[in-house]
Structure 1
Amino acid sequence: MSTKYDRISFPDSVKFASHSDNEFEPEMDAFSTGVYHDHTIYPRRRDRTVFKLACLRIRNRQTLFFLIAGFVVALLTLVIIIGITAMHTDSTKNKTSDRTTNNKDYGLFFYPEVDGSSVIKFDPTSLNSYKPYVDNLDYHMHVYSPVPQMHDANRYVVCTENTTQPLPEGKVCRFTAEDLGEECNHINMYGYKEGRPCVLLVLKLPDNMTPEPFDVNNSFVHKILNDRLSPYHVGISCAGETDKDQENIGTQQTVGPPMKYMPNKGFMTSFFPTQLNNSLYILPAVSVQFNTVANKHAVAVKCVAWAENFNNGEPQNSELYIARFVINIG
């Protein structure tokens, strides 16, 4: 069947072309033939379309590549951050932990211990910052007050290196705050006001245990204690947990040695075995004054009580005979 389009004729100047994207013109009816008067209409070039599609695919692939690469970089960055954080946490675990090494039945104890924390952090210029430590030391030092011992001199015996145990019934060794040095007392604020804090170390052993000092010829212990190694004492040593801590403890001699021990040689063995059943018995103590600790550094300190029968001759590897704490000044 023929239609009206079969009878349409076109001038020779018109070239036929495929429909274009903008072939619709307002002046033409809705059933346009796709022919524009006095214009030549060319079809889209296939090669250009293919090129555009190829570019689009390449761009899409580049975008996908960058998205994947960005995700991988972000993931690696997160892993690195977590790793560094974990390493930092491990390396500073002792410095930031509030857990105290005093949670034991016997062994080496340290004071001041405020709120169960092993961190001693204060500012020498601020009384409020170091007063809690002074108060805590006052509390633990009161048992070493010379007044009651002087009033009951018959029951408190002056013990020496040659004193043997057990003492006569009802008598105990005398030990006063004077044995802990002239500067580690309340009058001098235990050195905290000057930035030279004192730490009190107390040795408590089971009732039936008597410490056996290391032989003075023991080269390993002698290297640590030097001339403080004694056949009549449980030696005491304090040092930084790491090389950096040791550096921050200091080495200068401007105000005495970096660490001053009082009594110098440690805990006298004549105080043992412990007499916990005697209300008059006084646990021996050693005060350690840190004279040259660097300001604004958390310095981790490890103190060890040295006796041959402590942990089979290796007290440095047993938490019972170790006291750990952190000093942070400023």
Structure 2
Amino acid sequence: MAENNALYKVGPKEESFSQFLWNSETKQFLGRTGASWCKIGIFYVIFYACLAGFFAIMLTVFYQTIDTNHMPKYTPGKDGGSLLRHPAMGFRPLPRAENIESTLIWYKNGDNDDIKHWTDSLDIFIKPYEGAGGDLSGQHLVDCSDEKPPGEDEVCRFQDTWLTDKCQKAEKWGYNRESPCVILKLNRMINWVPEVYETEEELPEKMPQSLKEHIKKRIHDNSGVMPKMIWVSCKGENPADEEYIGPINYSPFQGFPAYYFPFRNTPGYLPPIVAIQFNQPQSNVLINIECKAWAKNIVHDRQNRLGLVHFELLKD
């Protein structure tokens, strides 16, 4: 019987822990008296109150530096301190989500299920542009031209009828006709203003000859006046790519009209786009394509992808 009672005897560890929880002799709870708990409670209340006050003051100071028009503190403008001084280019359609880092546009000719991903991607991208020629409530849309740029609180109207030929939604963007379309755009940079070429003599030597000929024709059609454009050229990166890429059409223009810039985060703004159509590119061949934007203050940097965009096209 004595042995059984020994089994239920409280050990030194259990006794020590229970005494730590509540010591009836010293009236201590968790090793502290009521007065000690009161003092440490007051200390932490004051400490966290000061910490919260300091955070509130810093947050108030931070909000004083934010523009109420949602403009960043530093911009690429003449008076800005931003390091982002050269725009990059983007393209649509993008590859599937599982290949998000890829730049390959790969589709099976005649396979409607495979083509659907690429056409749906372009449909989603172009949706804001559909009907953009109409009036939008609370937004100031104006018809722009080289002679009539938009005002401070105005945005240029985009005519969705500009996208003609096969580069449009109704034509499945040419993917069902073996003439796929790709849409180019410049990344938005607040207050960035392009320095366009004003004369033929200013055109750089590295500019493709085909683009120079196109510009000369535009000058002739424009009564001898150089259009104010950020010009665009696309070509195969290598001689083999040039051989397989085939003819390229651009719409609505072979470039971005300068009157769309600068971007000021004005509601209703739609950045200009260029649709490029590849007419009968070689099948079953991976074609490396590089498109460049041309202006005096646009640099071309392949490593940092500035002023250009690279993608591959593969048509099975």
TM-score range for the pair, normalised by the shorter chain length: 0.5 to 0.7
Structure 1 residues 315 and 177: alpha-carbon distance in aligned structure 2, compared to 1, 3 A threshold: farther
Give distance in 1, aligned partners of 2:141 and 2:169: 24
Give distance in 1, aligned partners of 2:231 and 2:134: 28
Displacement of 1:263 in angstroms is 2.3
Structure 1 residues 318 and 234: alpha-carbon distance in aligned structure 2, compared to 1, 3 A threshold: farther
Structure 1 residues 211 and 169: alpha-carbon distance in aligned structure 2, compared to 1, 3 A threshold: closer
Aligned to 2:311: 325
1:308 maps to a residue whose letter is: K
Could you tell me which runs of 5 or more consecutive residues in structure 2 were left unpaired when the two chains were aligned: 1-85, 216-225
Give distance in 2, aligned partners of 1:174 and 1:275: 15
2:153 equivalent among 170, 175, 189: 170
Displacement of 1:159 in angstroms is 1.1
Aligned to 1:141: 126
Q: Does 1:267 align with 2:267?
A: no
Q: Does 1:295 align with 2:283?
A: yes
Q: Alpha-carbon deviations, 1:55-96, whole Å to 9, x = none?
A: xxxxxxxxxxxxxxxxxxxxxxxxxxxxxxxxxxxxxxxxxx
Aligned to 2:64: none
**Identical-pair percentage:** 27
2:164 equivalent among 181, 195, 200: 181
**Count of residues in Structure 1 that have an aligned counterpart in Structure 2:** 213
Aligned to 2:141: 156
1:109 equivalent among 90, 105, 113: 90
Q: Alpha-carbon deviations, 1:12-39, whole Å to 9, x = none?
A: xxxxxxxxxxxxxxxxxxxxxxxxxxxx
Give distance in 1, aligned partners of 2:301 and 2:126: 26
Give distance in 2, aligned partners of 1:233 and 1:318: 24
What pairs with 1:73-222 in structure 2 (closer than 5 Å)?
Answer: 106-114=87-95, 115=97, 116=100, 117-146=102-131, 148-152=132-136, 155-164=140-149, 167-214=150-197, 215-217=199-201, 218=203, 220=205, 221=207
Give distance in 2, aligned partners of 1:144 and 1:124: 27
1:189 maps to a residue whose letter is: K
Structure with larger Rg: 1
Give distance in 2, aligned partners of 1:213 and 1:296: 39
Q: Counterpart of 1:143 in 2: which secondary structure?
A: helix
1:245 maps to a residue whose letter is: D
Residues 157 and 173 in structure 1, CA contact (< 8 A), matched pair in contact too: yes
Which stretches of structure 1, 4 residues or more, deviate above 3 A after TM superposition? Answer: 151-154, 314-318
Residues 119 and 325 in structure 1, CA contact (< 8 A), matched pair in contact too: yes
Structure 1 residues 272 and 315: alpha-carbon distance in aligned structure 2, compared to 1, 3 A threshold: farther
1:110 maps to a residue whose letter is: F
Give distance in 1, aligned partners of 2:135 and 2:264: 21
Give distance in 2, aligned partners of 1:107 and 1:205: 9
Report the TM-score, using the length of structure 1 for normalisation: 0.60
Aligned to 2:220: none
Displacement of 1:124 in angstroms is 2.2
1:135 maps to a residue whose letter is: D
Report the TM-score, using the length of structure 2 for normalisation: 0.62
Residues 149 and 174 in structure 1, CA contact (< 8 A), matched pair in contact too: yes
Structure 1 residues 322 and 237: alpha-carbon distance in aligned structure 2, compared to 1, 3 A threshold: same
1:320 maps to a residue whose letter is: L
